[in-house]
Amino acid sequence: MTGAPEATPAGSPKVFPGRFEGKIAVVTGAAQGIGLAVARRISAEGAAVVLVDRAELVHEVAAELRATGAKASSVTADLEQFDGAESAVAEAVAAFGRIDVLINNVGGTIWAKPYEHYAAEEIQKEIQRSLFPTLWTCRAALPQLIEQGAGVIVNVSSVATRGVNRAPYAAAKGGVNALTQSLALEAAQHGVRVVATAPGGTEAPARKVKRGPEPEQEQEKIWYQQIVDQTVDSSLLKRYGTLDEQAAAIVFLASDEASYITGTILPVAGGDLG
């Protein structure tokens, strides 16, 4: 992320071979960023994975995992539309017969500016990008999980529900939090857990597929830097996290080790609680 401080290296990620042996995991937004880190880790821990993204890059990720001997398939779908989510879930079930873990990772700030500067269509696009993919994919997968009588959904939210210069994104992620808690209440009787992580600032390679335009005007750069500064100031550890640190929390919540955790939103933000 441009203008962000470097993350402190956390060392090689600790992998627990066999933790997901026999499990089927669907990971959305798997072509890059946190989704890619999660896909690699949960695959290394034994899960057969279905990787979903709107970018064709997701097929390269699946091929990379298969080259290691893992079971991996990939689906391109627009999860901002319900039919995209339905088709992705249907393909996962067709490929492996069930879904044990659904990790919803699609979303991200498109613009960075004070709310009064957002155009109406930009507000709609932010909500469409960071709330609807999770809404739709949960809705598409729940009947399958309920029929099985087991499963876990891990939604990826954000501590930016309290943050500057991205109010529409904050509103979208607040919706993800509410969805997580409401679904946990409904799904528990069916043996389905619903949890979320709330990542803070995370250092990652430059995106191969951009969410939106880079800041160009001097004022835009100032607004963006305010986000970076506030993110670091709000963190007790005064740094950005790593992709491995985010993936570790997500994969833990997806595992049977977290079997008594549901309805929880876990901040992974160096002490920033959002």
Q: Is 115 a catalytic residue?
A: no
- How far apart CA 83 and CA 226 sit, in angstroms, is 37
Dist CA 138 CA 204 (whole Å): 26
Token look-up 């997968």 returns 141
CA distances for 101 relative to 23, 65, 98, 111, 175, angstroms? 8, 18, 9, 31, 21
Catalytic residue, chosen from 115, 118, 169, 224, is: 169
Active site residues: 169
